[in-house]
Amino acid sequence: MSSELEKLKRKCEEEVKNSPNAESFNGIRIKYLGRKGELTKILRSLKDLPFEERKKIGQQANILKKELEDLISGKEKELSTSNFQFPTSNFDITKPGKKISRGHFHPLTKIDEEVRQIFTSMNFSVVEGPEAETEFYNFDALNIPSNHPARDVWDTLWIKNPKSEILNPKQISKLKFQNSKLLLRAHTSPMQIRYMENHNPPFQIIVPGRVFRYEATDASHEINFYQVEGLMVGPAVTLANFKFVVEEFFQRFFGRQVEFRYKPSYFPFVEPGLEVEVKLGGKWLEVMGAGMVHRKVFDAVRYNPGQVQGFAFGMGLDRLAMLKYNVPDIRLFYSGDLRFIKQF
Ligand code: YSA
């Protein structure tokens, strides 16, 4: 009889051990200790045994009953979430938790957003254009024909064997009359042409976007970077309007009064052309190229230069970010180095 008790004990222990959750213990309790349970059956059968043996086995069975009860409720408590207890050793409840690191916008995205906000608040619309461009839009229509020395300014990344599926059918038919070689746009100015082809003045737009140049990289030059183009055209848009818009933009962008300086410059698509410099930390820094839209550009989009005039500008977004955040090397923006990115 005592070997039967022993067997029963092992069986019950095994079942408790393999029990997946606290809920399954009720079943085990009924199976072994319930009114028709296995241990109860043994206790009932004792009446047929001689007195001495009944006494001995009875005692053993009662001890086992207590043991099984403790075993089942102990394990049940342990698994029950409502009764979860913090482990008492090595657990400091007052210690601050681990900080979960959250992502955030890249510094260039932040600057891009800020530039868009300032210009849209001045009633400029934001438009974007293709990064793979044609020679016609990137150069010819901007008064930079193929033999023009100014092409050297825009060290160009040409695309070999352009696949016609990059262009839609309307574009392809147009290209029959235009210079169709493909390239990665070297500036955002081609969007001046694309926009004017499809819109009538007056309007004012900015074109933020990625541009590409075949250049050696250094602390202030990357092979791919971002520019923001600006274009305002109307019957009586003048350099005075340009000066107001640009100064308003930079005061708000840098969040303080800054000094400006205008220098004559040359871009084939403006006349006159100029460069804008701002004084930051006691130093003059060039921040944009600009000018009044050249009449040949208006010719290319079939505007009447006698009826409209406008200004255009282009600035390097990365360079603005460098000035604003005091970043010494443009390449850090593209390094993917989290130690740098996490500072913004
Ligand atoms: C000029 C007159 C207009 O009416 C309209 C636009 C322009 C700008 C012209 N399209 C242009 O691309 N001029 S630029 O070659 O001098 O570049 C403009 C700005 O881009 C520079 O002032 C500089 O801030 C930035 N840039 C140029 N090359 C760069 C660069 N930034 C990073 N890496 C490079 N490699």
Distance 227 CA to ligand 1 centre (A): 7
Query: What was the pLDDT predicted at 234?
Result: 98
User: From CA 19, how far away is CA 189, in angstroms rounded?
Assistant: 72
Q: Do residues 274 and 264 touch, judged by C-beta distance below 8 A?
A: yes
158 catalytic residue (yes or no): no
Pocket test residue of 211, 277, 319 for ligand 1, highest count of atoms within 8 A of CB: 319
270 catalytic residue (yes or no): yes
- Does ligand 1 have an atom closer than 6 angstroms to the CB of 209? no
User: How many Cα atoms are found within 13 Å in the side-chain-facing hemisphere of 286?
Assistant: 12
Angle at which helices 25-33 and 51-79 pack, to 10 degrees?
180
User: From CA 98, how far away is CA 95, in angstroms rounded?
Assistant: 9
Distance 207 CA to ligand 1 centre (A): 13
Query: What was the pLDDT predicted at 3?
Result: 82
Token pair for 13: 């222990």
- Does ligand 1 have an atom closer than 6 angstroms to the CB of 56? no
Closest CA to 215 of 226, 224, 223: 223
The residue nearest atom 32 of ligand 1, judged by CA position, is: 221
User: From CA 151, how far away is CA 216, in angstroms rounded?
Assistant: 17
User: From CA 125, how far away is CA 139, in angstroms rounded?
Assistant: 24
Query: What was the pLDDT predicted at 165?
Result: 52
Q: Which residue out of 29, 187, 294, 319 is catalytically annotated?
A: 187
- Per run of 10 residues, the mean pLDDT along the chain (length 344 residues) is 84 86 82 89 84 87 90 81 64 85 93 98 98 94 90 88 56 57 95 97 98 95 97 97 97 93 97 94 91 97 96 97 94 95 92
Closest CA to 133 of 173, 189, 177: 189
Q: Are strands 224-234 and 259-265 parallel, antiparallel or unpaired?
A: unpaired
Query: What was the pLDDT predicted at 153?
Result: 83
Task: Say whether 55 sits in a helix, a strand or coil.
Answer: helix
Distance 247 CA to ligand 1 centre (A): 18
Q: Which residue out of 29, 186, 204, 213 is catalytically annotated?
A: 213
Q: Which residue out of 290, 312, 321, 327 is catalytically annotated?
A: 312
Beta strands in the chain (DSSP E): 125-126, 132-134, 157-158, 182-184, 203-212, 224-234, 259-265, 270-280, 283-293, 309-316
- Does ligand 1 have an atom closer than 6 angstroms to the CB of 275? no
Query: What was the pLDDT predicted at 176?
Result: 47
